[in-house]
Structure 1
Amino acid sequence: MTTADTATTATAAGRVWFVTGASRGLGHAFARAALERGDRVVAAARSTASLDELAAEHEGRVLALPLDVTDRAGVFAVVARAVEHFGGLDVVVNNAGILSSGMIEEFTEAEARAQMEVNFFGALWVGQAVLPHLRARRSGHIVQISSIAALGGFPSTGMYSASKFALEGLSEALAMEAAPFGVKVSIVQPGGYWTDLYTSMTSTTPNDAYAPLRAALEKQWAEGSVDSEPRLAAEAVMKLVDSDDPPLRLLLGSMVYDLAFDISRRRMDTWARWEQVSRAAEKAVPAPTTG
């Protein structure tokens, strides 16, 4: 029997969720799934117009708040308002994110910084804002929505991967720092879902030198795209937060699951082939003298 099967769900009723990027895609699916369980949701997004229907369906249990996660002061203000409104937070889902497509050489400084501002710094500001409240209650669960792109770098999504790699490094440290206070942290690595991430993505100005690679990638994506309904991701996240012992990482989708193992095996094979060089690079010596 899995951890999710043995999870205690009695405490699920009445949870308060804080979900960023809740107006669409996975964020909207997470918010809806939580509400359908009887929980309350702070739905934060740049534009809250699309949340009106959700709020009407679940009167009194939705607090829709406009939020730009790149605005640190704004994040702290919105979190404070959310805590004041519902009396506390239980589950925080860092879902807001953008995708900038392009070869590494093509990115301008502004384009590279914009990718990091939303996907990395946005999650950092939310984490810093909610932690004092979660620590005070000595409970809570922070769910970081990462990506298949954090499993490895891929052509044309390198900057996106960089933002998610950074998020995961931060989250691993955060999990250890928050654990003594009873606060859990999980990294969710989804594969493809039918959201508007790709239709709303920005792209760099193409460099003609990469035209053959772009053509090959387009052919590969056309033949091998696997996308699912966001509802399935939401169901997985509900099981995650219900678990008494949630994992640090959760893969979503068979394709991501298989890819994670494939990448890990290839890395281990490489490390093994270069073991002699790696070990030879270490030899303890006394601290060098100074002066």
Structure 2
Amino acid sequence: MSRRWFITGASRGLGTAFTEAALAAGDRVVGVVRDVTPLAELVTRSGGALSTFSLDVSDREAVVAGVRNAFDEVDGIDVVVNNAGGALLGMIEEVTEQQVREHFDTNLFGALWVCQAVVPLLREQGSGHILQIATMPGAGGGFASTGLYGAGKAALETISGALAMEVEPFGVSVTTVHPGGYDTELFGRGLTTTAPNPAYAPLRERLDAMFDEAEDFDPRRAAEVLLKIVDLDEPPRRIILGGAAYDMSMDVFRATTAEFAAWEALSRQGD
């Protein structure tokens, strides 16, 4: 049976890949983004299967109204993808208050507002699947120049874990998706950067060299996995997208476990 999707940030990157994959599967999609212009051609090609409207997810009232309108338009929603977001790149000392607030308004609070708007509808419907697009596990532990980006995604993961427990009794699933590096515009049009402090120039050189070596993969591969996830009777609460991302994440987990173990004796003195 065809599904009904609500996808935020549908006009580029992973959002577009998810939208195209759902349409190819014969599903109906409501795609929202601040500027719907890039989706015009896809709307035409979809033959009515894709509808779009402009929505700023940082505006809570607009999100509540938009989700309700989308729900009514397609007579229910089966899959919600919280994908809207951008990247904030810079050292902790450099980020401005405005940059942090604007970043969190979209990456964290935008997803929260969508969840708050859609959960009552899915709960009443008795079914639904919310997919939260985060980042590689371990990023919330802190990595130079991506601290605020990782903080927003780590907070989203924590909220999503709680939400999964809260809505499961009502037949609603929540999956936090941890994608690795994909060929999107996240670090292009979706990027906000700080004014660089010269004190961090040597560190930036090392980071730039490391980022240049990273491989970005085709977002359509991520979309293929997403379709398989929503087909599962018992979907995971958390999943990593990509083999390279999986390996890197496991390395982070092992290093974290080793550090905790190294200080076990001192930890045990605390109780």
TM-score of the pair, normalised by structure 1? 0.90
- Structure 1 residue runs without a partner (length 5+): 1-12, 283-291
Match of 2:98 in 1: 110
Q: Indicate yes or no: 2:59 matched with 1:71.
A: yes
Match of 1:148 among 136, 139, 143: 136
Is the contact between residue 138 and residue 249 of structure 2 (CA under 8 Å) also seen in structure 1? no
Q: Indicate yes or no: 2:245 matched with 1:256.
A: yes
Which entry has the higher C-alpha Rg, 1 or 2?
1
Output the CA distance in 2 between the equivalents of 1:124 and 1:16.
Answer: 20
Q: Indicate yes or no: 2:86 matched with 1:98.
A: yes
Is the contact between residue 137 and residue 249 of structure 2 (CA under 8 Å) also seen in structure 1? no
Match of 2:72 in 1: 84
Match of 2:202 in 1: 212
Task: Tell me the amino acid that sits aligned with residue 154 of structure 2.
Answer: F
Output the CA distance in 1 between the equivalents of 2:115 and 2:54.
Answer: 17
Deviation at 1:219, TM superposition (A): 1.4
Deviation at 1:60, TM superposition (A): 2.1
SS at match of 1:104: coil
Output the CA distance in 2 between the equivalents of 1:166 and 1:118.
Answer: 13
Match of 2:5 in 1: 17
- Structure 2 residue runs without a partner (length 5+): none
Match of 2:35 in 1: 47
Is the contact between residue 142 and residue 184 of structure 1 (CA under 8 Å) also seen in structure 2? yes
Per-residue CA shift, 1:61-99, capped at 9, x if unaligned? 112010100000000111011011111100000000110
Match of 1:32 in 2: 20
Is the contact between residue 63 and residue 113 of structure 2 (CA under 8 Å) also seen in structure 1? yes
Match of 1:231 in 2: 220
Output the CA distance in 1 between the equivalents of 2:151 and 2:134.
Answer: 11
Moved over 4 A (4+): none
Deviation at 1:273, TM superposition (A): 2.0
Output the CA distance in 2 between the equivalents of 1:51 and 1:95.
Answer: 15
Output the CA distance in 2 between the equivalents of 1:25 and 1:171.
Answer: 22
Of 254-263 and 175-184, the range deviating more from structure 2: 254-263
Of 268-277 and 42-51, the range deviating more from structure 2: 268-277
Output the CA distance in 1 between the equivalents of 2:54 and 2:257.
Answer: 45
Match of 1:286 in 2: none
Task: Tell me the amino acid that sits aligned with residue 248 of structure 1.
Answer: R
Is the contact between residue 82 and residue 131 of structure 2 (CA under 8 Å) also seen in structure 1? yes
How much is the aligned-residue C-alpha RMSD, in angstroms? Answer: 1.1
Is the contact between residue 36 and residue 53 of structure 2 (CA under 8 Å) also seen in structure 1? yes
TM-score of the pair, normalised by structure 2? 0.97
Deviation at 1:276, TM superposition (A): 2.4
Output the CA distance in 2 between the equivalents of 1:98 and 1:147.
Answer: 12
Match of 2:123 among 113, 117, 135: 135
Match of 1:61 in 2: 49
SS at match of 1:148: coil
Output the CA distance in 1 between the equivalents of 2:235 and 2:71.
Answer: 24
The number of residue pairs the alignment matches comes to 269
Deviation at 1:280, TM superposition (A): 2.6
Is the contact between residue 150 and residue 164 of structure 1 (CA under 8 Å) also seen in structure 2? no
Output the CA distance in 1 between the equivalents of 2:13 and 2:108.
Answer: 19
Is the contact between residue 11 and residue 36 of structure 2 (CA under 8 Å) also seen in structure 1? yes
Deviation at 1:150, TM superposition (A): 4.9
Output the CA distance in 1 between the equivalents of 2:75 and 2:256.
Answer: 46
Match of 2:153 among 158, 164, 172: 164
